[in-house]
Amino acid sequence: MHCPRCDAATVAFSIPDDLRAHLPDDRPGAALCTRCLAVTPVDDPPTETPDFEPVSDAFPANDEAAVAFACLLALLDSLVLYRAELDAVAEYAETRGADVLRALERLDADESVEPHLDIDRRTRQLEQLI
């Protein structure tokens, strides 16, 4: 699958039910763009957790935390609208070993990605919310 925003390759993944409850779309999976970091819902995700290394080494090493971090990126477009959801997804990632704010800082510094949103600004705003 290619990104509908920039046509780059994507990494598809399944979303656990308890995490899906906090996302705006109830489909069982999503695809994360390896270039612009856009997250697109998918109906038929893989059963195995993918390696997020092709996206960025800023992703948490723990599979569950990496999936949660990818889901967090889907919510960053609308901080005000998804305030409670962002808090829940960040907590989910952190209980699985991720330092969400540090991972976002590392992602912002990664020159191999061209995010469709201002990661630095969103990180500062998210820090105020969680």
Residue 93 included in any domain = yes
pTM: 0.95
Give 7-44 pLDDT, tens digit per residue. Answer: 999 999 999 999 999 999 999 999 999 999 999 999 99
Residue 3 included in any domain = no
Residue 91 included in any domain = yes
Domain count, the chain: 1
| Tens digit of pLDDT at every position of the chain (130 positions) | 899 999 999 999 999 999 999 999 999 999 999 999 999 999 999 999 999 988 999 999 999 999 999 999 999 989 989 999 999 999 999 999 999 999 999 999 999 999 999 999 999 999 998 8
Residue 1 included in any domain = no
Residue 4 included in any domain = no
Residue 101 lies in domain: 10-129
Residue 48 included in any domain = yes
CA dist 90 to 7, 19, 25, 81, Å? 28, 10, 17, 15
